[in-house]
């Protein structure tokens, strides 16, 4: 992926996480739906950055050591007016400082409508190559342990089967009279990750782990609202 990953990482110790806004740019280039968003280096730039976005908004901090954002106060949902963003970002900066962390910048993005939260991920297995994972749960993925694996590149039938074999697959059809999720959009998103010519293929050999967690699947569309990519 020439140019897409930005400047070469200087540290050689272990996998390097790419900042979330950059991962989302890669997803977008691969045809994966991500929330509309903008970046500001400092809190006072956020209102201007957010001027073209529609509320409700989500604010996130990114930077070295900021991994599980919810655990360190680096995600705020349901934000309204852009002129409040700077104050929320200052609170975030203080919360992060208490954890010994300093944000490199802030990402403000539109908040996706509620839906079923899934994880779509990939790892590179030393003998099998890239392996795709789909699962239900978003933040509860680990607790539920409800995931399916497929070797990449996956085809449409693989993706449909991987989704169908989840123990919680019925959630995708709408629980208690709820609206079913957009299976087509969800399948297309997963194919854009692990299918022929998809993101995993385009990343080549320079990565070790990709996590879209969660992907929010609604009645119309599926959006990757969080994204993590570890460069090898
Ligand atoms: P973490 O690093 O803690 O995983 P996330 O970016 O996944 O942080 O945000 C935490 C939760 O907030 C997500 O699991 C999702 O439920 C919600 N969330 C985050 N971004 C958005 C968004 N743009 N739209 C809707 N919900 C979001
Ligand atoms: Mg997440």
**Token pair belonging to 53:** 């976005």
- DSSP-assigned letter for residue 154: B
- C-alpha 200/C-alpha 130 separation (Å) is 7
Stretch 117-141: mean pLDDT, rounded?
Answer: 92
Per-residue confidence (pLDDT) for residue 2, from 0 to 100: 40
**Mean pLDDT for the chain overall:** 93
Which stretches of the chain are assigned E, i.e. beta strand?
16-17, 37-40, 57-62, 75-79, 105-110, 116-125, 129-136, 147-151, 207-217, 222-224, 227-231
Instruction: Count CA atoms within 13 Å of residue 133 on its CB side.
Output: 22
Instruction: pLDDT band for 15, please (50, 70, 90 cuts).
Output: confident
Query: How confident is the model over 20-78, as pLDDT tens digits?
Result: 999 999 999 999 999 999 999 999 999 999 999 999 999 999 999 999 999 999 999 99
**Which positions ≥6 away from 103 have C-beta within 8 Å?**
61, 62, 63, 66, 74, 92, 93, 96
Ligand 1 site residues, Cβ closer than 6 angstroms: 35, 58, 60, 68-70, 75, 77, 109, 111-112, 117, 138-139, 214, 216, 225-226
Does position 111 have pLDDT exceeding 90, yes or no? yes
Closest CA to 106 of 85, 131, 125: 85
Q: Where do the domains of the chain lie?
A: 36-110, 116-231
Q: Report the topology of domain 36-110.
A: Dna Ligase; domain 1 (3.30.1490)
Which spans in 75-155 are helix H? 85-98, 141-144
Does position 117 have pLDDT exceeding 60, yes or no? yes
Task: Quote the percentage of the chain above a pLDDT of 90.
Answer: 85
150 versus 8: the higher-pLDDT residue is 150
Of the listed ligands, the closest to the CA of 109 is: 1
Per-residue confidence (pLDDT) for residue 12, from 0 to 100: 53
82 CA distance to ligand 2 middle (Å): 23
Of the listed ligands, the closest to the CA of 116 is: 1
Instruction: pLDDT band for 6, please (50, 70, 90 cuts).
Output: very low
**Which positions ≥6 away from 114 have C-beta within 8 Å?**
216, 218
- C-alpha 52/C-alpha 105 separation (Å) is 19
Query: How confident is the model over 191-216, as pLDDT tens digits?
Result: 999 999 999 999 999 899 999 999 99
ipTM above 0.85, yes or no: yes
Per-residue confidence (pLDDT) for residue 190, from 0 to 100: 98
Instruction: pLDDT band for 7, please (50, 70, 90 cuts).
Output: very low
Closest CA to 170 of 116, 224, 132: 116
Q: Report the topology of domain 116-231.
A: D-amino Acid Aminotransferase; Chain A, domain 1 (3.30.470)
- DSSP-assigned letter for residue 18: P
Tokens 């123990």 identify what position?
A: 167
Pocket test for ligand 1, best of 225, 227, 230 (most atoms within 8 A of CB): 225
105 CA distance to ligand 1 middle (Å): 17
**Token pair belonging to 178:** 């709820």
Q: What angle do CA 101, 105, 111 make, to 5 degrees?
A: 105
């Amino acid at each position: 992926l020439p140019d897409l990953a930005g400047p070469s990482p200087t540290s050689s110790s272990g996998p390097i996480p790419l900042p979330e806004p950059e991962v989302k740019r890669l997803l977008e280039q691969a045809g994966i739906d991500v929330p509309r968003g903008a970046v500001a280096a400092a809190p006072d730039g956020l209102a201007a950055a957010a001027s073209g976005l529609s509320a409700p908004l989500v604010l996130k901090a990114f930077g070295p050591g900021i991994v599980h954002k919810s655990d360190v106060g680096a995600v705020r949902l349901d934000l309204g007016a852009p002129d409040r963003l700077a104050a929320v970002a200052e609170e975030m900066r203080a919360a992060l400082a208490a954890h010994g962390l300093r944000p490199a910048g802030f990402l403000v993005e539109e908040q996706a409508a509620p839906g079923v939260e899934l994880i779509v991920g990939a790892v590179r297995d030393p003998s099998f190559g890239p392996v795709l994972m789909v699962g239900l749960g978003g933040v509860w993925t680990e607790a539920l342990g409800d995931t399916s694996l497929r070797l990449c590149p996956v085809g449409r039938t693989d993706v449909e089967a991987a989704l169908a074999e989840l123990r919680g697959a019925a959630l995708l059809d709408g629980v208690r009279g709820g609206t079913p999720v957009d299976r087509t959009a969800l399948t297309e998103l997963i194919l854009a990750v692990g299918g022929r010519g998809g993101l995993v293929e385009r990343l080549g050999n320079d990565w070790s782990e990709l996590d879209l967690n969660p992907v929010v699947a609604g009645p119309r569309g599926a959006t990757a609202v969080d994204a993590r990519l570890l460069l090898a």
